[in-house]
Structure 1
């Protein structure tokens, strides 16, 4: 008899602007947050790092129910999928909005169908009974990135290194004198 499923967990980190040109960061968990500030870039970095800290600290429950299904798969209405596969922890951050980071335990099928997601960790398979052959798992499907641009994920605390001089974006180009 299979064990009952526990509800899939989710966390939301939100950057909120206020009328006095300050902003604040909130988390759906009871976490210590920095005070309101006018330094939006610092708060955005904090919010992103805070979401990554939740992802690093969370162990994905293999018996969790798909959090996406609980919300009628609203995150990927454009590409319907049947809930299937192991439970994974995904980070969803829509760059067009840029102020909300959402972590959730969802099934592998919903994770692959939801835009702007990155799989942060996977549930560990349950221990097989003695003498049973080990379960083979297919590699996770690549998540498409709108616009076709993607970059490899960096380990926490790392930043991409720039090589060569920075290019100017826009504006007139300067000719080399010589």
Structure 2
């Protein structure tokens, strides 16, 4: 009954900001790259293609990608001439006189050098689970390691690897945490990260 009441209320925004971003990007796409294909598997890729195709206003190529590796020639110089076809690429905000772009918010957290990488990963997963954090990314100094730790997360999926030596750069750990506007609570994020 509550769902029916919500659906009937024209004053309620029925879509999340994230779903609007997804739909706007799909409407404008000339090619779709399906990242993390190795984690999704064949069935996951098939389902993703179905979901995306249902939102697409026209057929475009969809390519699975592993580790962000794709030949630049595939995605550059498509000759799509998107600027000649803007009417076929509508946005959720077309026709609006004014629109706020504060649906998402971020905070930069300075961290001390860490000792336990897995504890940091667990804390980042906890941010996604407990505080609806959508994304976190940054470079972290790990005690006793000459290389910086690159950390990237989407939801509870956290990836980390040592990417390059600190060299002459200061060993400063910074983590950017991104979420929907109402979900970013800097104090709670700091507490979860132990800073």
More helix per residue: 1 or 2? 2
Q: TM-score, normalised by structure 2?
A: 0.23
More strand per residue: 1 or 2? 2
Q: TM-score, normalised by structure 1?
A: 0.24
